Structure 1
Amino acid sequence: MAPELRGCGLGLMAVVLLATPAMAQRSRDYTPSQFVSALNGLGYPVKLTDTVETPIVRQAIRDFQRRYNLPVTGTMTPASQDQAAALVKALQQNLNQVLKPSPALPQNQYYGAQTESFIKVFQSRNRLPVTGIATLEIRSRLAQALLNSGPPQAVPAVSQSNARPLATNASSVIPPIPPAPEPPTAAAPVAAPPLPAVVAPLPVAPRRPVMVAPVQTFATPRPNVKFGRLYTELEFRRVLQGLGYDINPTKFLSDTSAVVAIQDFQARYGLALTGAADQPTQAMVRKILRVLQYNLQLVSDRPVAITEFYDDATSASVRAFQQRNKLRVDGLATVSVRRAIDNQAKRRLIK
């Protein structure tokens, strides 16, 4: 269910739309060991025996926070826990859709023994190293499998315990999987450069002196397009690019990069993680663009048409805002840029 929209006018609505993506995903706070287990399961180089105070875990948390555009503190902030919960739940949902286990893998915020076991199943079936670690590459392959898989073979039931052993023998949890050598004590390192996570937002470049990038052009909608109309595939791809998602502009929306971007968007706004540009997803995109364009009207000295498309005028207004505020100038309305625009618009409305 999409987050409830509150506030007066579109300017205040934007603040709600850009809230932390997993507000409804996390049922409770992680314990330190549970959070370390989630980091380990998502591919960060920490051990299950490490504590959150150790330098390697603090560095992993900082890397996690930078990747998902969170305040970089190196601690278990609520926003960091929300993001981890959203990633783990998206991973579990994708595993259920691809593997069709019986019973289904419970969807919760914990990277426990069951999640690890089903990752091993997926890795074994795809002739990948069987580690039980859902690195960014594994999550990207899982997203692609959603598009390519036929009726999958049922996965045998596994232990219902959520406790994750420090060393798990694959054959003792899931009999059909042949034993595979376990990785070193340290978790599998994060791939470099990493691929986009299934539900992860595009990493945002750190703030730096104004750097002017080449102007990107976006399709200008036809004059006869009416509000409420769903996007064409080309229009939707350009919207994703305008919102800062790193997709291949020459590929269809079935391409892995687009599926990953759409699932990230869906997770951020509480939509079903279909990885497709379905009607609820397009409706939320229209709402985000209208809010963005309305707020640009409030903070800009130039008129901005509310078109529901990421056109050249919108890109130019975003570039002007970035230049005024000493941000990287690229015309892309990433999450951090939209948040900055929303904050200024909100202050002007309050005045």
Structure 2
Amino acid sequence: MWNGSTNAVAALLGGALLWSLAEPIAIYQPAWAARTQDYTPDQFISVLNGLGYPVTLTTVFNSPVVQQSIRDFQLQYRLPVDGTLNPPTQDIAADLVRKLQTDLNRVVKLENPLPASQFYGRQTEAAVRLFQQQNKLPETGIATLETRQRINDILNDALPRPGQGSSPGGSSGGAVQGIYTEAQLRSLLLGFGYDVNPQQPLNGTSAVRAIQDIQFLYGLPQTGQADQRTQEIMATLVKNLRNSLKVVLRSNLPITQFYDAQAQAAVREFQTRYGLAVNGSANLAVRSQIDAAARRVNP
């Protein structure tokens, strides 16, 4: 199993949820004018936590993981990237939470409808948890990417409502419950520099250790199983990587959650340009260097 430096871990921790939001990087068009009031640090941490960023409600606001998560949020929506609660950042956050609450009111039969406020509190968490329960999703109370996509799908009539004969999550052909197939997960682990036997299943020793390492780095239970939350983090990491490579290389690399031949080629190009060992493998140290290079392009 590959072991990275603690500095590299610190540099990348906050990047874990840049892609937890459903939209790709784009200029965001808010539906509401602005927040009704400024967020306190604790209130904004609640928003970050509720939208799936890797912060807990007890995380100190000036900690590196919170500051990086704010930067990732700002980069996602083409906002001034300074890691602070600048007005545009607060306005977009308020709009996202209001939209989530309004959408939940439309798809979940709540005894007390959500107020469509800018705050992600216990009532919103309970509504998200109820929606997840109704739709056979992990009941976390956190509006993960999968949760928000499912809400949007229902609102767009792309998925049948619960109880109409649907079987969400069903898969075949070697698929793992969640985002990736087993083959895709193995490719991702190999691409991230882990010594994984591509011929062994994901419950093999090398794959389990690699997954445990990712879970440790990003504050997840170290089960060694590629559960939904772990796959979401992995998908976010790959999307962050591809976006940073696109910025640094000024390429047309598509932003997907897969570590495929295109991603490998882009990593090789980066390694060539920066005098690194050219192997197409983006271990934690390489990802840290790519992330740093991207920030120099877009400070």
TM-score tier by shorter-chain length is: 0.3 to 0.5
Larger Rg: 1
Between Structure 1 and Structure 2, the one with more helix by share is: 2
TM-score (norm 1): 0.40
